[in-house]
């Protein structure tokens, strides 16, 4: 699991989008005040590429080794859109899917939820956060976990909009994968093209 000592320091360097904890009004106002005192420095192409790579990596909570492997897999997938392939791989990780379905407030919490065996995939208990789900897979909260405080909190929390490629019923705590995630450059805050430029140096 990716270990992070200070999420706020990372947010200051990479932007608030990488961690949910930084996406608050208080943090935004604090950063706005700090921005007024900052001196502007020109960023090199390498610096921009490194920053964007780190943004994606921290957003999905991956180690450098994990992320580099995903990028290499996308590059090796001949005849496909590398960006779309990488995006789909990241989005179809079970921990990310659990987060997208609103089962956990953060991807880190979703990763722990999966690791502790609270999620079923096609009726089987799954404890591997990196497990890749596929179209047609059925997801559910394990029966013995439904009374856990984890899901009591999730039930009372603000409902996150479901992705168009999945369904989920918060009454039965069941859902399914109905399509593959589609990358839309205009809708993403992450610059995947620059990430590939970093790894092709």
pLDDT in tens, 99-127: 999 898 889 999 999 999 999 999 999 99
Closest CA to 143 of 114, 110, 120: 120
Instruction: State residue 96 phi and psi, 5-degree precision.
Output: -70, -40
Q: Is the pLDDT of residue 36 over 80?
A: no
**What CATH class does 7-34+43-89+187-199 carry?**
mainly alpha
What's the topology of domain 94-177?
Answer: 3.10.290
Could you read off the pLDDT of 49-80 as tens digits, one per residue? 999 999 999 999 999 999 999 999 999 988 88
pTM score of the predicted model: 0.78
Give the domain ranges of the chain.
Answer: 7-34+43-89+187-199, 94-177
């Amino acid at each position: 699991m990716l270990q992070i000592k200070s999420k706020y320091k990372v947010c200051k360097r990479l932007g608030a989008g990488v961690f949910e904890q930084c996406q608050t009004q208080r943090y935004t106002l604090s950063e706005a005040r700090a921005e007024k005192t900052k001196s502007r420095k020109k960023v090199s192409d390498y610096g921009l590429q490194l920053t964007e790579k780190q943004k994606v990596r921290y957003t999905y909570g991956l180690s450098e080794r994990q992320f580099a492997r995903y990028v290499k897999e996308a590059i090796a997938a001949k005849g496909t859109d590398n960006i779309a392939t990488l995006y789909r791989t990241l989005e179809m990780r079970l921990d990310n899917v659990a987060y997208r379905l609103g089962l956990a407030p953060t991807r880190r919490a979703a990763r722990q939820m999966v690791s502790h065996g609270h999620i079923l995939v096609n009726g089987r208990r799954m404890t591997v956060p990196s497990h890749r789900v596929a179209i047609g897979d059925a997801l559910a909260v394990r029966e013995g976990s439904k009374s856990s405080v984890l899901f009591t909190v999730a039930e009372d929390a603000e409902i996150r909009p479901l992705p168009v490629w999945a369904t989920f019923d918060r009454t039965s705590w069941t859902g399914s994968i109905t399509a593959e995630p589609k990358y839309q450059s205009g809708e993403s805050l992450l610059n995947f093209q620059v990430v590939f430029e970093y790894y092709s140096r």
